[in-house]
Amino acid sequence: MNNAIFKYDQPKNEPILNYLPCSPEREALEKEIKRLSSEVMEIPLIIGGKEVRTGKKGKVVMPHNHGHVLAEYHMAGPEETQMAIEAALKAHEYWSQVSWVERLSITLKVAELISKKYRATLNAATMLGQGKNVYQAEIDAACETIDFLRFNAHYISEIYNQQPISDTGTINRLEYRPLEGFIFTVSPFNFTAIASNLNMAPVLMGNTVVWKPASTALLSNYILMQIYKEAGVPDGVINFIPGKGSAIGNVVFNHPMLAGIHFTGSTVTFNTFWKAVSNNIGKFRSYPKLVGETGGKDFIFMHPSANVNEAVIAAVRGAFEYQGQKCSAASRAYIPQSVWPVFKTKLQGILHELNMGEPTDYETFVNAVIDEASFDNIMSYIEKAKESEKAEIIAGGKGDKSKGYFVEPTVIVTSDPHFITMEEEIFGPVLTIYVYPDEKFEETLELCDQTSPYALTGAIFSADREALNTACRILRYSAGNFYFNDKPTGAVVGQQPFGGARASGTNDKAGGPFNLIRWTSPRTIKENLNPPTDYRYPYMTNARCGE
């Protein structure tokens, strides 16, 4: 046995490939796009390493061409959910005892498989099934997924080496135990990397999971499951059960061995989970740990001193990349009156140039939103703006779902800083702008802080250092990820650990060591090398000094 003290050094972020014409990565990607587009994949449940087919099916379609079926998936019900829990608990007996170095090794094997062998496949699945263009797929399905895996391998070696001091005559140590029970993971459609990390972070720490993936991301998520198996993740450590949340949740939230929930999704859903756990708190063996990253109403705030072009580009990229379907997407902006005419002209000019279309067209910037429910919700907010005297649409405003779920990048200008599209999360390509008097900079910062219940990301643009400092102070609790002169999206693992508070989640910072610590239950072990042999302490005498 190798008894060396192991440490995995801090890695570098995975390089982003360019996908230029005739490049090897572009040719490999196009081959996989063609293959996945020409077949209808069958996606079973995977419980205890075995494929389970329930016969109750749903369909996975292309958002940009919803008549094209990519896959049919089997749906889990209460019986399959119970099976998945039992499989996770059985696997826990083994996996929780496996050396962390061995768990780390499997993690790094997954990263290598994605980086090389399955990069094109995972990117193609994310493009076709989740409506991402090649760049958005590359930075997500490939780079961020790999970064989570490699950086977490580094962080676990740092965490496990954090030990208490030992005094003379005693030896003290911390054992970083996995949680007692199973982890329920619920992943969203918008990031393949998040789906991977929600599972692999607890698994790295020795836990086993029951995974409910988003039905609109099943193509890429099922491919992840296949990669995990090839890398050596043991059967039952991750149990894959697509299906309706109500059918699965009723079983999960009533099981005494629920040890934790790892969630990314809407605030409403996470609140429902929290209430369900609270109502059943007496049933659980341990208090379940709830880790959630939820909604956002992310902002760009421009100071009069800021470079207008830089702020405009940040607004376009921050609001409209991946159709605004990022929890960090810019959805409200505060622009000073003095620069508004120039800002407006530049913004409209760029939006006029943007191409909207299929994600496989390399010239498109904006693609389809994820499904019909999302399309209808986004258009309902646009209609509210059209009907209001307090709002004006200066760009976009149209949608078409006849073939794909396409919504034009839309910019609303409002005279009411509390207009509905300034306060409520839309999760689509809609940016609302409030133009404020230059002299009310600090007052408007206070307004920004108090407008929305969310506190995920935000950005301040200014060439004045004092203005940056003032904004940072006033907006201290308004964003868990705060940016100076940059768009509020694009957090990189290891560089900007991600998460927010208030209605945006528990702020456990995925992409850093904080999240991993949540999946441990430390045990302190003290060994006394010289145990006492008398109950009395030295002071226990009535003798006087000198006697």
Q: How long a stretch of residues is the chain?
A: 547
Find all residues with CB under 8 Å of 467, minimum gap 6, and list them: 303, 305, 441, 460
Instruction: For residue 383, count other CB atoms closer than 10 A to its CB.
Output: 12
Find all residues with CB under 8 Å of 105, minimum gap 6, and list them: none
Distance, in Å, from the CA atom of 424 to the CA atom of 402, rounded to the nearest integer, reads 27
Beta-sheet strands, E only, within 313-353: 330-336
Could you write out the DSSP letters of every residue in 205-238? TT--EEEE--GGGHHHHHHHHHHHHHHTPPTTSE
With 0-12 / 13-18 / 19 or more C-beta atoms within 10 angstroms meaning exposed / middle / buried, residue 527 is exposed
Distance, in Å, from the CA atom of 44 to the CA atom of 189, rounded to the nearest integer, reads 18
Instruction: For residue 537, count other CB atoms closer than 10 A to its CB.
Output: 8
Find all residues with CB under 8 Å of 213, minimum gap 6, and list them: 187, 195, 221, 240, 242
Instruction: For residue 300, count other CB atoms closer than 10 A to its CB.
Output: 29
Residue type for position 109: K
Angle between helix 119-130 and 192-204 (nearest 10): 120
Tokens of 181: 């029970």
Distance, in Å, from the CA atom of 505 to the CA atom of 258, rounded to the nearest integer, reads 20
Distance, in Å, from the CA atom of 180 to the CA atom of 514, rounded to the nearest integer, reads 19
- What SS3 class is residue 72? strand
Tokens of 383: 């209609």
Could you write out the DSSP letters of every residue in 468-530? HHHHHHHTTTT-SEEEESS-S----TTTS-B--EETTB----BTSHHHHHTTEEEEEEEEESS
Distance, in Å, from the CA atom of 126 to the CA atom of 141, rounded to the nearest integer, reads 7
Active site residue 472: no
In the set 80, 293, 321, 358, the catalytic residue is: 293
Active site residue 22: no
β-bridge partners, 432: 332, 412
Taking the alpha carbons of 334, 336, 341, 343 in that order, is the dihedral positive or negative? Answer: negative
Cα 283–288–291 angle (5° rounding)?
150
Distance, in Å, from the CA atom of 499 to the CA atom of 506, rounded to the nearest integer, reads 8
β-bridge partners, 47: 50
Ramachandran area for residue 501 (φ above 0: left; ψ -120 to 50: alpha; else beta): beta
In the set 32, 143, 321, 327, the catalytic residue is: 327
Q: Phi and psi for 38 in degrees, rounded to 5? A: -95, 5
**Residues with catalytic roles:** 293, 327
